[in-house]
Amino acid sequence: MKEYIPGLAGVPATESSISSIDGDRGILAYRGYPISELVEHSSFEEVALLLLDGEIPSNQKLSDFKTLLRERYEVKHNIKSLMWALPSSGHSMDVLQTAISAMATFYPDAGAAEPDSDYTQNALVKIISNMSTLVAMWARINRGYDPIPPSKHMSYAENFLYMSFGKEPTKEMVELFDACLIMHAEHTINASTFSAMVTASTLANPFASVSAAVGTLAGSLHGGANEDVLNMLDEIGDPKNVRKYIEGRLKNKQVIWGMGHREYSVKDPRATILEKMLQKYTKSSGGSLSKRFETALETERVCEELLSSKGVYPNVDFYSGIFYSEVFKFTKEHFTPIFAMARSAGWVAHWHEQVSRNRIFRPTQIYIGSDFRSYPVK
């Protein structure tokens, strides 16, 4: 008899060489390299190329890739016009998904038939490059302002911050944001990546796959969870309220946002890095911990006391929202699109891997409806 496994939990759906997780030791690695080392020594551009090609690039290859990304920052006029035509109240993830889908019309021959052709490879680079531009553009368009043109002299992280705020960011801000992009670039076969892979398995173009992934990431149980974490912390209001709040949610069997991850029985390594970065930034900037950050630390302490025996610890969403809000001053509606910007590198890598040795996904089901029966003739 077939066994039904809800959510395909623990079911291997593919063989992949892109990333791996050791959930018991709290290690996430891209192509074998732990993210703790990549955050310390690498850049988002280098990590994106690592995910695509499988190896740390030479200095010359990395320089060429950076140039290629920067040359493609600019978005087609038609896409800009499309974005201006959308309601300003539209969710940024819906806008991003729409724009990415529309980009396919400019690359009609970018497909699975020749995934290694220069044409298709340029399309993959265009997706990564334009993701940041699109997110930064909408942050201004939805408030009625013209987008700030991208700077082809800036790194990926630096250009996004410049387009978002209209001034050149400090070196510290660029390094912090670059680290955030690295941590969100890839995470094995999660819901959005699986969505991209299923779409790719039909031999759809990479824009369709990434569009599907963006739509999947928008859900609050995936990329949107960091917004829910901030709402939860604001609802708690003060560290002294944490225990009563957490105990109440546990009693009522409610979700504690940002806590627990299916892949980790210990603390998410990305959450560990983000927490340390927050503390370091607070110390270097000479400021005290914000009430929200203090509440988060107390929430983690209480949850560890109450839930660690069940292997429930903070995940990346627990601290990423605080980081984006407290350090960069981004508003909540832009958290998940920033996630998508970074994850685009992983998505296109999985698209390429899937179509290179493809078999269409066609799972089965366990039927629980009515038996075969005759139509009731009246």
- Give me the DSSP letters along 195-225: HHHHHHTTT--HHHHHHHHHHHHTSTTTTTH
CA distance 279 to 256: 23
What does the alpha-carbon distance between residue 123 and residue 110 come to, in Å, rounded to a whole number? Answer: 7
- The pLDDT assigned to 1 comes to 60
Q: Cα–Cα distance between 125 and 129 in angstroms, integer?
A: 6
Other C-beta atoms closer than 10 Å to the C-beta of 354 total 25
Residue 119 near residue 143 (C-beta atoms within 8 A)? no
Residues 302 and 184 sit within 8 Å (Cβ to Cβ): no
Taking the CB of residue 87, how many other CB atoms lie within 10 A of it?
9
Ordered per-residue pLDDT tens for the chain, 378 residues: 678 888 888 889 999 999 999 999 999 999 999 999 999 999 999 999 999 999 999 999 999 999 999 999 999 999 999 999 999 999 999 999 999 999 999 999 998 888 999 999 999 999 999 999 999 999 999 999 999 999 999 999 999 999 999 999 999 999 999 999 999 999 999 999 999 999 999 999 999 999 999 999 998 778 778 888 999 999 999 999 999 999 999 999 998 998 988 889 889 999 999 989 988 888 887 777 688 889 998 999 999 899 988 888 888 888 888 889 889 999 888 899 999 999 999 999 999 999 999 999 999 999 999 999 999 998
- Measured CA to CA, the distance from residue 226 to residue 180 in angstroms comes to 13
Residue 315 CA, distance from chain mean position: 13
Q: Give me the count of residues in the chain.
A: 378
What is the separation of C-alpha 120 from the centre of its chain, rounded to a whole number of angstroms? 23
Q: Whole-angstrom Cα distance, residue 348 to residue 125?
A: 9
Which member of 261, 334, 350, 352 is catalytic?
A: 261
Q: What 8-state DSSP symbol labels residue 259?
A: B
User: Which among 142, 138, 172 is positioned nearest to 158, based on CA atoms?
Assistant: 172
Sign of CA dihedral 339, 342, 347, 353: negative
Phi and psi angles of residue 369, each rounded to the nearest 5 degrees, phi first: -90, -160
Going 30 to 33 to 38 to 39, the CA torsion angle's sign is positive
Backbone angles phi, psi at 261, to 5 degrees: -150, 135
* Angle (nearest 5°) at CA 375 between 372 and 378: 155
| Cα 132 versus chain centre, distance | 12
Q: Which of 184, 268, 317, 350 is catalytic?
A: 317
Rg, Å, the chain Cα set = 22
Pairing between strand 19-22 and 27-30? Answer: antiparallel
Q: Which two tokens stand for residue 193?
A: 């990546």
**Active site (annotated) includes residue 261:** yes
Query: Vertex 354, ends 353 and 356: CA angle to 5°?
Result: 65
Answer yes or no: pTM beyond 0.85: yes
Our separate counts of H helices and E strands in the chain read 16, 3
Tokens for 135? 């997110």
Residue 323: what are its φ and ψ, rounded to 5°?
-60, -50
Q: Residue 368: phi, psi to the nearest 5?
A: -125, 15
User: Tell me, what's the pLDDT at 362?
Assistant: 94
**Spatial separation of the C-alpha atoms in residues 66 and 64, rounded to whole Å:** 5
Active site residue 22: no
Closest CA to 181 of 277, 53, 300, 72: 277
- Find all residues with CB under 8 Å of 257, minimum gap 6, and list them: 225, 228, 229, 231, 232, 317, 318
